[in-house]
């Protein structure tokens, strides 16, 4: 089974840049190492046959970063690496159609996610499951900032102050069959949730890979600190 890893770095990094640093988030450092390098090393450890990195045509600095950081890492282990330039935004999963080619599966990883998820086991589970797509999932805990009221017939019968909710969320990482990639509309910006809805509308099965590995979405300065704690915990 041939697998291409697609590292999504095509976003404009607007939330991170809102903090005053003009650097694209893929080039921001966690424990001295760029998010780009962290994720390239992670997908290479999954023993994929090819690495593709999707970037925006407007991100010249990031393109140089891919050439200077990602390509040497891939070359060192003999894995081909290509840059997929989005001349116009294709959404957060649209580029999967561009890279699928003759591969059996595409592993999609987002450059602003940092996790210790075992990608090799994830791919093994996806392939064995025989589904059109598999989404890595984990449980996140959210604290509601308000007092939640339970009301029946205009009477308050319950009052929970700042209740804690545990919600199963997407970990971003997903795997797609070549057929699932072919379902993505040509040249149309497509988000992951839109592709999920499209696959389900066709009656195709989408699997869930449950895990409890540390995970953080790195989109602001505070999340960089959380990401660094993940790295410290690994060592």
Q: What is the pLDDT along the chain (235 residues), one digit of tens a residue?
A: 799 999 999 776 556 555 556 788 899 999 999 999 999 999 999 999 999 999 999 999 999 999 999 999 999 999 999 999 999 999 999 999 999 988 999 999 999 999 999 999 999 999 999 999 999 999 999 999 999 999 999 999 999 999 999 999 999 999 999 999 999 999 899 999 999 999 999 999 999 999 999 999 998 888 888 888 877 776 5
**pLDDT of the residue at 19:** 55
CATH of 3-136+170-234, one of 3.90.550.10, 2.30.110.10, 3.50.50.60, 3.40.50.300: 3.90.550.10
Among 174, 201, 192, which Cα is nearest to 90's?
192
Q: Where are the domains of the chain?
A: 3-136+170-234
- Can you tell me the distance from the alpha carbon of 195 to that of 16, in angstroms, rounded to the nearest whole number? 26
Residue 1, token pair as written in the block: 């089974």
Residue with tokens 């760029």: 34
- Can you tell me the distance from the alpha carbon of 113 to that of 67, in angstroms, rounded to the nearest whole number? 21
End-to-end CA distance of the chain: 32
Using an 8 Å Cβ cutoff, are 99 and 84 in contact? yes
């Amino acid at each position: 089974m041939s697998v291409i890893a697609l590292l999504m770095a095509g976003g404009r990094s607007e939330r991170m840049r809102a903090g005053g640093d003009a650097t694209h988030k893929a080039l921001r450092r966690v424990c001295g190492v760029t998010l780009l390098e962290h994720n390239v090393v992670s997908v290479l450890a999954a023993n994929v046959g090819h690495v593709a990195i999707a970037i925006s045509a407007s991100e010249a600095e990031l393109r140089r970063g891919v050439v200077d950081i990602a390509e040497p890492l891939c070359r060192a282990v003999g894995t081909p690496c290509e840059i997929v330039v989005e001349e116009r935004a294709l959404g957060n999963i649209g580029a999967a159609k561009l890279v699928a080619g003759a591969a059996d599966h595409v592993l999609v990883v987002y450059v602003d996610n940092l996790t210790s998820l075992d990608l090799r086991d994830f791919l093994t589970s996806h392939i064995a499951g025989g589904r059109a797509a598999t989404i890595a999932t984990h449980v996140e805990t959210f604290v509601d900032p308000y007092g939640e009221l339970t009301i029946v017939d205009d009477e308050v019968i319950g009052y929970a102050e700042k209740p804690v909710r545990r919600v199963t969320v997407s970990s971003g990482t997903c795997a797609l069959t070549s057929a699932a990639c072919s379902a993505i509309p040509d040249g149309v910006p497509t988000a992951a949730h839109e592709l999920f809805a499209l696959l389900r509308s066709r009656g195709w099965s989408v699997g869930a890979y449950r895990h409890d590995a540390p995970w953080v979405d790195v989109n602001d300065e505070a999340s960089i600190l959380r990401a660094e704690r993940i790295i410290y915990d690994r060592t």
